[in-house]
């Protein structure tokens, strides 16, 4: 009976020795090299060096070890077809290939220099994995130590479905590896003709937006900074699909606010947001008062480290939140929040507010993806087209604009100053007509509308929205401008004695 060979070359040594021992017990001869060979030797397991098997030495500081016909021929040989050529070339069939790749990603994240990173681009490993996956009808390919037990159980059987699953996993492994390398190299083109986006599963989710939809959360490797995958959950149930979507929206608002503050999100839109010069306690009270009914079951994001005093104020409000997230919590805050067992608490990296979202903003559509730059404010000064706003109005307008940019379009946000802080005073989100968004924001106001300011994420196509705001007592408006009826819109504001600032940039968010 011909010898059965298994080729082992892994950077992750988890479970290696037990797997190798199990193969030997089933009559396999082990082929190995490098660190894997040393691990086998240290465990007392016999093996054949790849160089001895091929008759060719490792060369170029180990860059060329397995790129040889006796390796790839052994992996790719078709049993019952290629025996004659294999015998003529001295090629032995290889039935098991266990390979995982040079730690390229870990090398990049370690801050290594470029030359070291490049040396950790694996060439032989992906080639062997892809060859074994192609020949999965005859070869078991293993890239994940978690699969070692099932392979040991199956090497004596004709378990083609398992080999096919392993092949699919192998191709996902190498394609993700290559995509990470491509991402590291970057591109002079912001939107190249071909784009590979590496994704790695962070966690399975109980369901998607609705219970009948399956779902999971994936993150892109090498994308540090403002990444939800880098948030650390301190307590509570696993995050759901909707939790993660709303959390993303909450963090967008909270960390765009001009000062210590927080945002309360419900169904991807802010129902409350505020900043206050005295800190989070005062800001939280203002934010909650903006819409205490809608806040129930929402997401609370705070843009400063949470203290025990802050946590006590949140708990004293007796509002149920699905998630609370902040860039750090002190010991007393953690202790107090832990008294709410079902409350999910997330700690963000401390530099969250100083970093920017990585990569592109992406949206899945049927059959493809839409990619765009992240929405950040283009450089440029706001332009006053009527009277100059007061200092108080200008502060409120800048606050309202920051919130409005993160509201579903058509978006209208009312805001006002109050006792050293700034607070949302009504939101009109996602309406098909901009004037209806204005009406909705006015209806949702929990404070007097007279004296409030208004932000609109896009221009007013007609003067009716401005007229509706004026009749409710709004004193100042910030909007992009650019409508063919700008003159009529500005005249409506002039007639009401309003201030109006044009930003020149809109913030649609669909």
Spatial separation of the C-alpha atoms in residues 255 and 352, rounded to whole Å: 8
- Comparing CA positions, the residue from 298, 266, 260 lying closest to residue 427 is 266
Catalytic residue among 13, 134, 169, 360: 134
Question: What is the number of other CB atoms lying within 10 angstroms of the CB of residue 133?
Answer: 24
Helix (H, G, I), strand (E, B) or coil at 166: helix
Residue 15 tokens read as 């479970």
Residue with tokens 């929990």: 446
Contact 408, 269 (CB under 8 A): yes
CA distance 252 to 287: 16
Q: How many CA atoms lie within 13 A of 8 on its CB side?
A: 32
Structure tokens at 109: 């994240």
Residue with tokens 């990585």: 358
Lookup: tokens for 98: 């266990």
3-state secondary structure of 476: strand
Please tell me the distance from the alpha carbon of residue 419 to that of residue 246, in angstroms, as a whole number.
29
72 annotated active-site: no
Number of alpha helices (DSSP H) and beta strands (DSSP E) in the chain: 19, 21
Concerning whether 49 is annotated as a catalytic residue, the answer is: no
- Write down the residue that tokens 């505020």 correspond to: 274
Residues near 39 by Cβ (< 8 Å), separated by ≥ 6?
A: 13, 16, 17
Long-range contacts of 319-323 (CB under 8 A, 24+ apart): 319/288, 319/292, 319/295, 320/296, 321/264, 321/295, 321/297, 322/243, 322/246, 322/297, 322/298, 323/236, 323/239, 323/243, 323/246, 323/247, 323/250, 323/299
Query: b/e for 236-250, b at 16 or more Cβ within 10 A?
Result: beebbbbbbbbbbbb
324 - beta bridge partners? 300, 345
Rounded-to-integer distance, Cα 496 and Cα 103, Å: 65
How far out from the chain centre does Cα 81 lie? Answer: 47
Q: Which of 169, 237, 267, 360 is catalytic?
A: 267
* Helix residue ranges per DSSP H, 417-462: 434-444
Please give the Cα distance from 221 to 379 (Å, whole number): 30
| Residues identified as active-site | 134, 267
């Amino acid at each position: 009976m011909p010898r059965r060979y298994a080729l082992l070359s892994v950077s992750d040594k988890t479970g290696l020795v037990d797997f190798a021992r199990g193969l030997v017990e089933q009559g396999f001869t082990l082929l190995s090299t490098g660190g894997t060979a040393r691990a086998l030797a240290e465990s007392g397991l016999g093996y054949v060096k790849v160089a001895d098997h091929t008759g060719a030495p490792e060369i170029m500081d180990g860059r060329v070890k397995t790129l040889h016909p006796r390796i790839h021929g052994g992996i790719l040989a078709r049993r019952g077809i290629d025996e004659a050529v294999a015998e003529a070339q001295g090629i032995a069939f290889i039935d098991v290939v266990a390979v995982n790749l040079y730690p390229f990603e870990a090398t990049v994240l370690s801050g290594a220099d470029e030359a070291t990173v490049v040396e950790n681009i694996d060439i032989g490993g992906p080639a062997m994995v892809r060859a074994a996956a192609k020949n999965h009808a005859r070869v078991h390919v293993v890239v994940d130590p978690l699969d070692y037990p099932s392979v040991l159980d199956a090497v004596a059987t004709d378990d083609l479905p398992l080999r096919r699953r392993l092949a699919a996993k192998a191709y996902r492994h190498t394609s993700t590896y290559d995509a990470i390398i491509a991402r590291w190299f970057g591109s002079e083109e912001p939107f190249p003709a071909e784009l590979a986006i590496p994704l790695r599963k962070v966690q399975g989710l109980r369901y998607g937006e609705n219970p009948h939809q399956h779902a999971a959360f994936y993150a892109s490797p090498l994308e540090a900074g403002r990444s939800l995958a880098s948030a650390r959950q301190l307590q509570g149930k696993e995050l759901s699909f909707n939790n993660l979507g709303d959390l993303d929206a909450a963090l967008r608002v909270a960390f765009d606010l001009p000062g210590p503050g927080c945002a309360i999100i419900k169904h991807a839109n802010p129902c409350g947001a505020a900043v206050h010069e005295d800190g989070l306690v005062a800001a939280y009270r203002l934010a909650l008062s903006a819409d205490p009914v809608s806040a129930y079951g929402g997401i609370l994001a705070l843009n400063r480290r949470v203290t025990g005093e802050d946590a006590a104020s949140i708990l004293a409000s007796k509002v149920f939140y699905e998630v609370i997230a902040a860039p750090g919590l002190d010991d007393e805050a953690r202790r107090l929040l832990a008294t709410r067992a079902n409350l999910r608490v997330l700690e963000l990296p401390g530099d969250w507010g100083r970093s920017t979202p990585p990569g592109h903003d992406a949206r899945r559509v049927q059959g493809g993806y839409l990619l765009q730059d992240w929405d950040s404010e283009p450089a440029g000064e706001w332009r006053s087209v009527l009277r100059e706003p007061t200092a108080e109005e200008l502060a409120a307008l800048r606050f309202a604009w920051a919130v409005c940019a993160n509201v579903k379009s058509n978006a209208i946000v009312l805001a006002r100053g109050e006792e050293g802080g700034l607070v949302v005073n009504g939101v009109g989100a996602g309406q098909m007509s901009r004037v209806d968004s204005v009406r909705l924001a006015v209806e949702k106001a929990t404070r007097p509308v007279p004296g409030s300011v208004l932000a609109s994420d896009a221009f007013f196509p007609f003067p009716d929205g401005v007229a509706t705001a004026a009749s409710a007592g709004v004193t100042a408006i910030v909007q992009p401008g650019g409508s063919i009826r700008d003159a009529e819109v500005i005249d409506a504001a002039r007639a009401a004695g309003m201030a109006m600032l044009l930003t020149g940039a809109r913030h649609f968010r669909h």
